[in-house]
């Protein structure tokens, strides 16, 4: 794990992996075959684990970098423009193929989503050559597991520089588990750990820690919050709660969570504070369509303060909930 970031300057967070352009459509419900459906709302937003993660970290106040591949054509141009508009420092490696992008359908009734996507270009030596300069002065690097070669090369460079690493496992690829033992902070959805161990979050996190992560193994459980451990002893296990919001659009909640968590590490927050910040960032994102809800630090603190005031105003309700 890298040294504690210098707190006298803005933390530098690097995102390495997939960035996409999402064409997002809000419908009353998911379409059926041979139907014609009017869109209630339409948005074009930055997606992908690294792309949306970079947006989340940048809005919280981090000096944020993104290294990603893209294709050519109108979708790539729009993607690059959207990321640049967020103030993220971008290193793109373009390949002569259609750029990755997705159509995301969100059903208003239950906030579920359907995603139709095109794959990202695979990184090669051209991308790997960018890593040394890209990682210069970085405090924390967030990786995804979408491109085995890129993730492995990035881990090599981070290890040589002592940079703290975080990985978003996503649902898992054939190579994902083989990378995790090289990562400082592993955060995985419960679907991934169930697939790996057959056990729910608490038991799975304890089993996977050590062989699948060097400092922290966290498991996200959506609206139930999540758990994390720093060792195999029961006292090393802790839980965070999900923030109290009404879900509107769950697409990208995990990306936002990971970006905010990486920012918290670079800022020097405690682990509990990192997970709480990530949970609030993801929840506020889910509470609005697209990326509108991904909060600034001021917005996040205001939301937490309002929720705290609400709890103080409802003592009897809180007591009933606990019992």
Cα–Cα distance measured from residue 53 to residue 49, given in angstroms and rounded to the nearest whole number: 6
More confident residue, 13 or 210: 13
Q: For 166-209, write each residue's pLDDT tens digit.
A: 999 998 999 999 999 999 999 999 999 999 999 989 999 999 98
**Mean residue pLDDT across the chain:** 90
Task: Give 295's pLDDT tier (boundaries 50, 70, 90).
Answer: very high
Cα–Cα distance measured from residue 81 to residue 294, given in angstroms and rounded to the nearest whole number: 18
Identify the bridge partners of residue 66 per DSSP, sorted by sequence position: 15, 90
Mean pLDDT computed over 308-313: 54
Query: Where do the structural domains in the chain lie, given as residue ranges?
Result: 12-30+40-121+134-312
Cα–Cα distance measured from residue 253 to residue 286, given in angstroms and rounded to the nearest whole number: 6
Task: Give 154's pLDDT tier (boundaries 50, 70, 90).
Answer: very high
CATH topology of domain 12-30+40-121+134-312: 3.40.1190
Report pTM: 0.90
Closest listed residue to residue 131, CA positions, set 160, 96, 166: 160
Tell me the percentage of the chain whose pLDDT exceeds 90: 77
Task: Give 316's pLDDT tier (boundaries 50, 70, 90).
Answer: very low
């Amino acid at each position: 794990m890298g040294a504690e970031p210098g707190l006298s300057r803005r933390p530098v967070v690097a995102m390495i992996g997939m960035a996409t352009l999402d064409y997002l459509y809000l419908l009353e419900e998911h379409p059926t075959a041979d139907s014609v459906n009017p869109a209630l709302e339409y948005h074009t937003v930055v997606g992908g684990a690294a792309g949306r993660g970079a947006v989340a970290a940048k809005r919280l106040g981090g000096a944020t970098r993104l290294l990603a591949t893209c294709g050519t054509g109108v979708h790539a141009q729009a993607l690059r423009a959207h990321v640049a508009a967020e103030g993220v420092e971008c290193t793109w490696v373009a390949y002569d193929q259609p750029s990755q992008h997705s159509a995301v359908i969100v059903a208003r009734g239950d906030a579920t989503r359907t995603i139709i996507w095109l794959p990202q270009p695979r990184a090669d030596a051209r991308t790997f050559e960018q890593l040394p300069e890209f990682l210069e002065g970085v405090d924390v690097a967030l990786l995804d597991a979408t491109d085995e070669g890129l993730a492995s090369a990035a881990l090599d460079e981070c290890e040589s520089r002592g940079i703290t690493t975080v990985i978003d496992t996503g649902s898992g690829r054939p190579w994902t588990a083989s990378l995790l033992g090289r990562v400082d902070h592993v955060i995985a959805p419960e679907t991934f750990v169930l697939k790996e161990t057959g056990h729910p979050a608490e038991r799975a996190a304890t089993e996977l820690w050590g062989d699948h992560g060097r400092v922290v193994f966290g498991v996200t459980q959506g609206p139930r919050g999540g758990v994390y451990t720093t060792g195999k002893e029961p006292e090393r296990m802790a839980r965070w709660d999900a923030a109290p919001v009404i879900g509107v659009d769950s697409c990208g909640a995990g990306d936002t969570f990971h970006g905010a968590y990486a920012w918290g590490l670079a800022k020097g927050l405690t682990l509990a504070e990192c997970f709480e910040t990530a949970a609030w960032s993801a929840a506020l994102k889910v509470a609005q369509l697209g990326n509108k809800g991904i909060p600034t630090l001021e917005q996040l603190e205001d939301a937490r303060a309002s929720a705290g005031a609400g709890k103080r105003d409802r003592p009897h309700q809180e007591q009933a909930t606990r019992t």
